[in-house]
């Protein structure tokens, strides 16, 4: 007598397919053009990169916070406060010139769970698993 296997997988018609949840770490960079915008939390936020480890994301966020690569968007390094809370980096700095359109900046790492459907094949073969730069 054959026994039927009851597959309660919520992953569609493929019994080899399984859903799992993974966490990605997103590095965001927010620029505040004026002191009033900073006080009101009105800034422009861009996604800088996405990482598979918090360590890689924290390193990237810190590098972005202290970078001097964007003329006009620089802030005073002596006025940067950064911390790692719950394993995720946040840096806030002020002292930029409002006339250049960047009074303050905030760079932070956010952890976001994502659903992954695994059908046994891998689309990430050859990827080092560290990050995907958005810019």
Q: What is the pTM of this model?
A: 0.70
Report which of 7, 25, 27 is spatially closest to residue 16, judged by C-alpha positions: 7
Chain segment 80-94, per-residue pLDDT in tens: 999 999 999 999 998
pLDDT of residue 74: 74
Chain segment 85-133, per-residue pLDDT in tens: 999 999 999 887 777 778 899 999 999 999 887 665 555 544 445 555 5
Ranges of each domain in the chain: 19-116
pLDDT of residue 30: 93
């Amino acid at each position: 007598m054959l026994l039927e296997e009851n597959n309660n997988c919520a992953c569609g018609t493929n019994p080899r397919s399984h859903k799992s949840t993974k966490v990605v770490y997103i590095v965001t960079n927010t620029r505040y053009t004026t002191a009033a915008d900073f006080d009101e939390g009105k800034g422009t936020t861009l996604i800088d990169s996405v990482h598979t480890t918090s360590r890689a994301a924290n390193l990237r966020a810190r590098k972005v916070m202290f970078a001097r690569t964007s003329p006009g968007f620089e802030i005073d390094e002596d006025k940067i406060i950064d911390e790692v809370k719950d394993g995720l980096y946040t840096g806030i700095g002020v002292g930029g010139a409002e006339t250049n359109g960047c009074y303050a900046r905030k760079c932070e790492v956010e952890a976001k769970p994502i659903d992954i459907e695994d059908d046994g094949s891998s689309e990430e073969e050859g990827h080092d698993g560290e990050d995907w730069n958005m810019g």
